[in-house]
A and B are shown apart, each in its own frame.
Chain A
Amino acid sequence: MALDISLDDSKQGALRVALNGSLDSETAPQLSAALGNIDDSVSAVVFDMKSLGFISSTGLRVIFTVLKAQKSRGGRVAVSNMSPGVKKVFEIVKALPDMTVFANDQEMDDYLASFQRGDD
């Protein structure tokens, strides 16, 4: 099983993280490394899970680490396009109340549109 990660920081203050594949105990370190030094200016991290087929607790931990870091400085974490299987995992650990949940691309895009485009 494999994971593709694509990061989009073209909006100032927001980081969009698109996940494609499986976020399990083998691939979670990859995501952890990719998100290792999120810039202090980022106040919203949005995980696009449209192409995420699977998440295990190791994967959840990476997202929770980001959530903790964001909340500690007033930021937020959002998730979008969860499949029923992925959503179930978040529900089991009662994590959804602590995050913003977008049901689809439209909701996510509307939210990201509220951020200014970055200089680069």
Chain B
Amino acid sequence: MDQILLPVAGQPLQNASKFLTGFAETHQIASELTQSLLIIADELISNTIKYGEAEELRLTLDLGSEKQLTLIYSDDGNPFNPLAADLPDLDTPVEDRDIGGLGLMMVQSMTETQEYERTDDLNVLVLTLRID
């Protein structure tokens, strides 16, 4: 299990992507899965920075088996369940869409399971990704 603490005040996005690419190299994760991890981290972290009023974020990666990678994201910001947010209507042409909720959409479609919990004043999101 690998973990990194990311103070919001200290370039959390850049540090997260270094952490993720380092993890991917060590464990020889395929580049497509690495891209998914980077996108997920970008979506979650940028969302927390924008709305969450959090001070500290935490990313944990766990290679549970050859087939599954678990990513746990937690922050100490305002209670927010991203899984309960509205998703965009993708059957509407882009030019008529309300351009929001895309990040969440991305996180959901790149992961196999998603669970949210508010525990000890933390938002905890547990995501699993399938390894092909």
| A-to-B contact residues, CB < 8 Å | 1, 24-26, 54, 56-58, 60-61, 64-65, 67-68, 71-72, 84-85, 88-89, 92-95, 97-99
Prevailing SS type, chain B contact patch: helix
Smallest CB-CB separation from A77: which chain B residue? Answer: B94
A54-B35, A67-B95 known; A1+B17 contact, CB < 8 A: yes
Of the residues A26, A57, A93, A95, contact of B43 by C-beta under 8 Å: A57
Of the residues B13, B31, B45, B95, contact of A98 by C-beta under 8 Å: B95
Q: For chains A and B in complex, what number of residue pairs have CB atoms within 8 angstroms? A: 70
A72 near B13: Cβ-Cβ < 8 Å: no
A85 near B31: Cβ-Cβ < 8 Å: yes
Query: What residues of chain B lie closer than 8 Å to A94, measured between beta carbons?
Result: 90-91
| B-to-A contact residues, CB < 8 Å | 13-14, 17, 31-32, 35, 38-39, 42-43, 45-46, 88, 90-91, 93-95, 97, 99, 102-103, 105-106, 109-110
B106 near A64: Cβ-Cβ < 8 Å: no
Query: What residues of chain A lie closer than 8 Å to B42, measured between beta carbons?
Result: 24-25, 56, 58
A-B pairs with beta carbons under 8 Å apart, 8 shown? A24-B13, A24-B42, A26-B14, A56-B46, A57-B102, A58-B103, A67-B94, A88-B35
How distant is the Cα of A56 from the Cα of B17 in the complex, in angstroms? 13
